[in-house]
Chain A
Amino acid sequence: MLILECPYCGVHAEETELHAGGEAHLKRFGPGASDEDFHDYLFMRENPKGVHLERWRHVNGCGKWFHAARCTMTLEVFGTYTAQTSEPPQEIKDKISAKRPGWTWREFSA
Chain B
Amino acid sequence: MSTRLAKQGRLIDRSKQIEFSFNGRKLKGFAGDTLASALLANDQMLVGRSFKYHRPRGLVASGSEEPNALVGLGTGDRFEPNQRATTTELFSGLSAQSQNHWPSLEFDIGEVNSKLFSRFLTAGFYYKMFIHPRPFWKHVYEPFIRQSAGLGKAPNKELKDADTYEHFYFFCDVLVIGGGVAGLQAAKSAAATGAKVLVLEEKSYWGGRTPVDGGMIEGLEAEAWVAKTVAELEAMDNVTLRSRTMGAGVYDHGYILGYERLTDHAPGQGGPRHRMWRIRAAQTVTATGAIERPLSFAGNDVPGVMLAASMRDYVVNWGVTPGKRVLIATNNDDAYRTAIVLHEAGVEVVRLLDTRETGGGDLADRVRALGIRVECGRAIAKVADGKRVTKVAICAQNGEGGAREEVEADAVAMSGGWSPVVHLWSHCGGKLIWDEAQAHFRPDPDRAPTGADGKPFVVTAGTASGPLTLKAVMADAAAAGAKAAEAAGRPAQAVASIATSEVVEAQMEAVWLMPAKADIQLRMKSWLDYQNDVKVSDVQLAAREGYESVEHTKRYTTLGMATDQGKLSNINGLAILADTLGAEIPQVGTTTFRPPYHPISMGAIGGSARGDIFQPLRKTPMYDWHDANGAHWEPVGHWRRPFAYVRSGESVHDAVNREVKNTREKLGLLDASTLGKLIVKGPDAGKFLDMLYTNVMSSLKPGKCRYGLMCSENGFLSDDGVVARIDEDTFLCHTTTGGADRIHAHMEEWLQTEWWDWKVYVANVTEQLAQVAVVGPNARKLLEKLNAQAGGGMDVSKEGLAFMEWKDGEIGGFKARAYRISFSGELSYEIAVAASEGQAFWNALIEAGQEFGVMPYGTETLHILRAEKGFIMIGDETDGTVIPQDLGLHWAISKKKEDFLGKRAQERSHMVDPDRWQLVGLETVDGSVLPDGAYAVGNGLNANGQKNTIGRVTSTYYSATLGRGIAMGLVKHGPKRMGEVIDFPGLDGKIFKAKIVDPVFYDKEGEKQNV
Contact = CB atoms under 8 A, between A and B. Distances in A.
- Direct A/B contact, Cβ within 8 angstroms: yes
B749 A74 contact: no
Given A1-B255, A42-B713, A42-B714, A29 B452 contact: no
A2 B450 contact: no
A65 B756 CA distance: 11
Interface in A1-18: 1-3, 14
B454 A74 contact: yes
Given A3-B452, A42-B713, A31 B907 contact: yes
Given A1-B251, A3-B253, A38-B908, A31 B903 contact: yes
Contacts of A77: 452-453
A37 to B, nearest CB: 10
Contacts of A29: 904
A58 to B, nearest CB: 11
Given A31-B907, A38-B905, A75 B752 contact: no
Contacts of A55: 753
B567 interface: no
Contacts of B748: 63, 65
Contacts of A84: 752-753, 756
A45 B628 CA distance: 52
Interface in B687-737: 713-714
B754 interface: yes
A95 B378 CA distance: 62
A57 B907 contact: no
B756 A35 contact: no
Contacts of A1: 251-253, 255
Contacts of B753: 21, 55, 65, 83-84
A76 B745 contact: no
A76 B899 contact: no
B904 A65 contact: no
A16 B452 CA distance: 16
B423 interface: no
Contacts of A71: 454
Interface in B747-782: 748-749, 752-754, 756
Interface residues of A, number: 28
Interface in A51-110: 55, 57, 59, 63-65, 71, 74-77, 83-84, 99
Given A1-B251, A3-B280, A28-B754, A42 B905 contact: yes
Nearest to A84: B756
Nearest to B255: A1
Contacts of A14: 255, 280
A76 B452 contact: yes
A83 B752 contact: yes
A32 B907 CA distance: 10
B903 A76 contact: no
A93 B753 CA distance: 20
B989 to A, nearest CB: 41
Nearest to A19: B745
Interface centre among A14, A30, A42, A63 (most CB of B within 10 A): A30
A57 B749 contact: yes
A44 to B, nearest CB: 14
A64 B751 CA distance: 10
Interface in B172-202: none
Nearest to B902: A30
A36 to B, nearest CB: 11
A55 B714 CA distance: 19
A84 B904 CA distance: 24
A31 B904 contact: yes
Contacts of A59: 745
Q: Which bucket holds chain B's interface residue count? A: 20 to 34
A55 B750 CA distance: 13
Interface in B241-272: 251-255
B454 A76 contact: yes
B926 interface: no
A21 B745 CA distance: 11
B253 A2 contact: yes
A21 B907 CA distance: 26
B745 to A, nearest CB: 7
A103 B207 CA distance: 49
Contact of A75 (B452, B713, B905, B908): B452
A8 B453 CA distance: 20
B278 to A, nearest CB: 9
Nearest to A59: B745
Given A65-B748, A65-B752, A83-B753, A38 B904 contact: yes
Nearest to B452: A77
B907 A75 contact: no
Contact of B450 (A32, A33, A64, A76): A76
B253 A83 contact: no
Contact of A2 (B252, B752, B898): B252
Contacts of B454: 71, 74, 76, 99
A65 B752 CA distance: 7
A3 B903 CA distance: 37
A65 B749 CA distance: 7
Nearest to B713: A42
Contacts of A31: 898-899, 903-904, 907
Contact of B756 (A28, A33, A83, A99): A83
Contacts of B903: 30-31
A59 B753 CA distance: 14
A42 B716 CA distance: 13
A1 B756 CA distance: 30
B160 to A, nearest CB: 27
Interface in B449-478: 450-454
Interface in B405-463: 429, 450-454
A35 B910 CA distance: 12
Contacts of B713: 28, 42
Interface string B891-922: 00000001100011101110000000000000
Nearest to A55: B753
Contacts of B745: 57, 59
A71 B253 CA distance: 13
A27 B978 CA distance: 44
Nearest to B741: A59
B908 A74 contact: no
Nearest to B903: A31
Contacts of A35: 908-909
Contacts of A64: 752
Contacts of A83: 752-753, 756
Contacts of B905: 38, 42
A29 B899 CA distance: 10
Contacts of B453: 76-77
Nearest to A21: B749
Interface in B531-571: none
Contacts of B452: 2-3, 75-77
A61 B619 CA distance: 23
A58 B453 CA distance: 20
B171 to A, nearest CB: 10
Contacts of B904: 29-33, 38
Contacts of B429: 74
A14 B752 CA distance: 21
Contacts of A76: 450-454
A87 B753 CA distance: 12
Interface of A: 1-3, 14, 21, 28-33, 35, 38, 42, 55, 57, 59, 63-65, 71, 74-77, 83-84, 99
16 contacts: A1-B253, A3-B254, A31-B899, A31-B907, A32-B904, A35-B908, A38-B905, A38-B908, A57-B749, A65-B749, A65-B753, A71-B454, A74-B454, A76-B452, A77-B452, A84-B753
Query: Which 3 A-B residue pairs are closest in the complex by CB-CB distance?
Result: A76-B454, A84-B756, A65-B752
Interface of B: 251-255, 280, 429, 450-454, 713-714, 745, 748-749, 752-754, 756, 898-899, 903-905, 907-909
Given A35-B909, A65-B748, 9 more contacts: A3-B280, A29-B904, A38-B904, A38-B908, A55-B753, A57-B749, A74-B450, A76-B450, A83-B753
